[in-house]
Amino acid sequence: MPQNRIAYFYDPDVGNYHYGSSHPMKPHRLALTHNLVFSYNLHKKMNVFRPSHATPHDMTRFHSSEYIHFLQRVTPSNKAGFISSLNKFSVGDDSPIFPGLFDFCSAYTGASLQGAVKLNHGLCDIAINWSGGLHHAKKFEASGFCYVNDIVLAILELLKYHARVLYIDIDIHHGDGVQEAFYLTDRVMTVSFHKYGNFFFPGTGEMYEIGEDDGRYYSLNVPLKDGIDDQSYISLFKPIIQAVIEKYVPSAIVLQCGADSLALDRLGCFSLNIKGHGECVQYVKSFGIPLLVLGGGGYTIRNVARCWTYETFLLLDEPVDEQIPKKSDYAEFFSPDYSLCPVMSGNFVNQNSKQYLDYIKQTVFDHLKFIQGAPSVQMQDVPPDLFLHEENECNDDSVESASYIRREHQGEYYNDDQDNDKANYEYN
Ligand SMILES: [Zn+2]
């Protein structure tokens, strides 16, 4: 077993689910990422776990039992009998019913929960679950391709052992589900960097959403315009995150690494490069605070896989090899250059002027002044662990040789650039 303290979670089935052939959310991107991570032999440098599935009981720590019970029962073949529930729980259109939906939710949620438990017990310093990060799901309903909010559930688990948890979201969409869940408390500080304006999904996240009651000033929003590039983004990200960590003094951080903030994303409109996105991840890691790293959006799947593999390198402190190994089963996705970090100029002009960026930064700093030191909480009676399943550490051979790796649906082999049904999806 490697001596470093990185735990990496991967369920070999999670890449085999299908939202639908024209739907932009492709779980196959997870198999692609995992395959690339393995092609680089990064699995030999960290502890790889096949996570246990989350149970309905685990999920109802946040979600209503009526909603979770519905997700358990509904299938593509019986959904006609659930018309009123489909409306009530906002399921069916952008967040469709597909075969194995509940198992998919159980898999990605189980991995995030298990990551939180390992961090709680000091069994790792960083836990990685690229299948998690579904930040839009709400207590009573699905939203933006997200059904069960693994992030909220993982933070609730962390709160059993940690007085203050910081949540950082670099997906292009506002982390609304997580913000809403913790809007009234100072025990979780949420910081989201996202596109805002022109009815961009989900429509929340303007800079004066700051939290309420005990949570006032513990929600921070950084609303951005189209085309933001690496330099502009980092010029906000680093000083804001540094100030937040100095003021709030979290003892655990959850980082949602949605890759739809990259240039050329099928649904996005930013101009970040993989190296710029990764610099944010590396910066958060540099504070040395226990860290749960999650995925999120990301719809140009070859770049999602590149980005999360690159960030796995950074989290491991391994020197990055930018030439993608041709032995990868999916090497064709990365032709002709086989570059891990291709330069991507993007299709959107940067509309974030220096004045606008300065204005946002100043407003955020003004809000931070109201945080009077780190709130404390008595942590006497620690509730029992949510998750007491057996360890499922994979040895290299069992993970590597599993036949799942090429069990993907042929429909996943679409060409990102030509498969343009973007107009049908306002959201992620
Ligand atoms: Zn997104």
Give residue-wise pLDDT tens across range 187-230. 999 999 999 999 999 999 999 999 999 999 999 999 999 999 99
Tell me which residue of 379, 108, 147, 381 sits closest to 252, measured CA to CA.
Answer: 379
Query: What's the rounded Cα separation, in Å, for the pair 106 and 54?
Result: 5
* Mean pLDDT, residues 126-132: 98
pLDDT band at 372 (very low <50, low <70, confident <90, very high): confident
Amino acid sitting at position 52:
S
Cα–ligand 1 centroid distance for 203 (angstroms):
12
Q: Token digits for 99?
A: 């075969």
Instruction: Judge whether 261 and 268 are in contact, CB under 8 Å.
Output: yes
Cα–ligand 1 centroid distance for 310 (angstroms):
19
Q: What is the pLDDT of residue 151?
A: 98
Is the pLDDT reported for residue 317 higher than 90?
A: yes
Q: What is the pLDDT of residue 392?
A: 53
Cα–ligand 1 centroid distance for 382 (angstroms):
34
The residues assigned a catalytic role are 136
The residues facing 48 across adjacent strands are 8
Q: Residues near 172 by Cβ (< 8 Å), separated by ≥ 6?
A: 194, 195, 258, 260, 261, 265, 267, 268, 269, 270, 297, 428
- Backbone phi, then psi, for 206, in 5-degree steps? -75, 165
Omega prior to 336 cis, within 30 of 0: yes
Segment among 17-31, 334-348, 372-386 with least mean pLDDT: 372-386
Q: Residues near 363 by Cβ (< 8 Å), separated by ≥ 6?
A: 207
Q: Residues near 369 by Cβ (< 8 Å), separated by ≥ 6?
A: none
Cα–ligand 1 centroid distance for 375 (angstroms):
30
pLDDT band at 93 (very low <50, low <70, confident <90, very high): confident
Cα–ligand 1 centroid distance for 202 (angstroms):
9
Q: What is the pLDDT of residue 384?
A: 72
Cα–ligand 1 centroid distance for 378 (angstroms):
35
Query: What's the rounded Cα separation, in Å, for the pair 392 and 75?
Result: 29
* Mean pLDDT, residues 236-265: 98
Cα–ligand 1 centroid distance for 65 (angstroms):
26
Cα-based distances in Å from 358 to 40, 230, 349: 40, 16, 19
Find where tokens 């022109």 sit: 198
- Helix 354-368 and helix 230-248, axial crossing angle in degrees, nearest 10: 10
pTM: 0.90
The residues facing 220 across adjacent strands are 191
Is the pLDDT reported for residue 424 higher than 90?
A: no
Cα–ligand 1 centroid distance for 17 (angstroms):
19
The residues facing 143 across adjacent strands are 146
